[in-house]
Amino acid sequence: MDKKQIDWGNLGFAYMPTDERYVSNFKDGAWDEGTMTTDANVTISECAGVLQYAQTVFEGLKAYTTEDGRTVTFRPDLNASRLKASAERLEMAAFPEDRFIDAIKKLVKANEAYVPPYGSGATLYIRPYIFGTNAVIGVKPADEYQFRAFCTPVGPYFKGGAKPITLRVCDFDRAAPHGTGHIKAGLNYAMSLHAIVTAHQEGYDENMYLDSATRTKVEETGGANILFVTKDNTVVTPKSDTILPSITRRSLVYVAEHYLGLKVEEREVLFEEVKDMAECGLCGTAAVISPVGKIVDHGKEICIPSGMDEMGPVIQKLYDTLTGIQMGRIEAPEGWIVEI
Ligand SMILES: *Cc1c(COP(=O)(O)O)cnc(C)c1O
C-alpha cells in the first residue's frame, strides 16, 4: 500500500479531507445500507434539527500502524456503545453498534494511504457522528438523521515531548446534575468555548471544572478526564454522573491495576485533596495523557510535585504501557486491538 506524500512528523491537529467517508441515512424508522462517498460536503434543510436545536452527538477514535505493520483501531466497541448512549439521551436514532464497527473498518480501509506509518508519532483520527437532518421548527426530535464518519491524519499531540500544562479552576460550569455531561454531545462543547477562550487569554492551557452543585469536587476538563497519583502511588480518578466516561481513562485504570499492580480508587475527589497529590494528568484519545504541572484556583497556585518539566514517574509508566499496548509492543487485553 503506497502511503500519501505527507510530512507525518509535522502534521498538526487540523482537518485535512481524505479520499472517502462513510454515510448512512435514517428515514421512515430505519437506517439505509450505508455507502462510502468522496463528497466531503453535507447538504441539509436550513431548518434541520441539528442547526436549530443542536441534535448532534459524536465520537473520536484513532487508527494507526503497529510495530509489525498492521493497521488497527483501539477499542472501537466502546465508541460504538457510547455513541448509542449519547444518541438515546438526545432522542436521536442510534446507529447499530455492529454497523458502527463495520463503518469504521470500511472508512479506514478506504483511506489506508492516510494511516501514518509506525514511529511517525502521527495517527489517523476518526470522527463518527450523528445529526438530525430534517426540518424541525417546533421543539421536538428530528425524524431523519445522518450517521457519518470521516477521518483525518493528525500529528503527534506533543511535538518534542509532553510538557506539563497549567489548569485554572473554572467559574463556568460544563455539566449540570442530571444533565448531559456524561454523553458526547456537541452542545457540551458549544458552551465550553467561552470558558476555554478566556482561559487561553489569561494564559492557562485548560479549565478544571468542579461539580456545579457544590463546587467542592473535581470533575474533568473541557475534553479530557482527570487522573491523580497520590504520594503512596495510588491512582485516583473522580467518579461522577456528570463526567464523560473516557475510554482512555477506563483503559488506564485497567492498565494501572492489571499491568502495573497499582491500587486504583474511582471515587469522589474533593478539590481540597488536590494540593496533596503527587502527580496529575488529563486523559483522552488525542494525547492519551497530558501531564498537569500546576492548578490555579483564583490566584492560589497548587504546584504538583512532579513539576513543569516532565511527566511524573507513575503517569509516565501508565503512558508508556498504554501506548505500548496500542502500538503492539506490549500484549493487549483480549479485544482491545481491532485489526482493519
Ligand atoms: C471525548 C471526551 C473525553 C475523552 O474520552 P476518550 O474516550 O478517552 O477520548 C473526556 N471528556 C470529555 C468531555 C470528552 O468529550
Tens of pLDDT, residues 231-242: 999 999 999 999
Checking if the pLDDT of 303 tops 80, the result is: yes
Distance 201 CA to ligand 1 centre (A): 23
pLDDT tens-place string over residues 141-170: 999 999 999 999 998 776 666 899 999 999
What are the grid coordinates assigned to 164, written together? 506539563
Q: Using the structure block, give the residue that is written with the C-alpha cell 497549567.
A: 166
Average pLDDT, the chain: 96
Angstrom distance (rounded) from CA 29 to CA 76: 25
**Does the C-beta of 285 come closer than 6 Å to ligand 1?**
yes
Which triple of cell numbers denotes residue 230? 497520590
So what's the pLDDT on residue 156? Answer: 76
Residues 6+ apart with CB under 8 A from 273: none
The per-residue pLDDT for range 223-263, each reduced to its tens digit, is 999 999 999 999 999 999 999 999 999 999 999 999 999 99
pLDDT at 2: 86
**Does residue 73 contact residue 79 with C-beta atoms inside 8 Å?**
no
Q: How many whole angstroms separate alpha carbon 299 and alpha carbon 260?
A: 36
Beta bridge partners of 291: 281
Q: State the catalytic residues.
A: 184
What per-residue confidence (pLDDT) applies to 160?
Answer: 63
Q: Which of 246, 249, 288 maximizes ligand 1 atoms within 8 Å of its Cβ, making it the mutation to test the pocket?
A: 246
Q: Which residue type does 39 have? A: D
Question: Does the C-beta of 242 come closer than 6 Å to ligand 1?
Answer: no
Give the global pTM: 0.97
What values do phi and psi take at 201, rounded to 5?
-60, -35
For the segment 162-219, what is each residue's pLDDT rounded down to a tens digit?
899 999 999 999 999 999 999 999 999 999 999 999 999 999 999 999 999 999 999 9
Which band of pLDDT confidence, cut at 50, 70 and 90, is reported for residue 112? very high
Ligand 1 pocket, residue 293 CB under 6 Å: no
The predicted pLDDT at position 296 comes to 98
Contact assessment for residue 165 and residue 307, using Cβ atoms and an 8 Å cutoff: no
Q: What percent of the chain has pLDDT over 90?
A: 95
Beta strands in the chain, from DSSP E residues, in sequence order = 21-27, 30-31, 35-37, 56-58, 61-65, 71-74, 123-132, 145-154, 165-169, 206-208, 225-229, 235-238, 264-267, 279-284, 288-297, 300-303, 337-339
Q: Whose CA is nearest to atom 14 of ligand 1?
A: 223
What is the rounded CA–CA span in Å between residue 314 and residue 256?
9
For residues 222 and 241, what is the distance between their CA atoms, to the nearest angstrom? Answer: 15
- The CB of 75 under 6 Å from ligand 1? The reply is no
Backbone φ, ψ for residue 270 (5° rounding): -75, 140
Average pLDDT over residues 46-74: 97
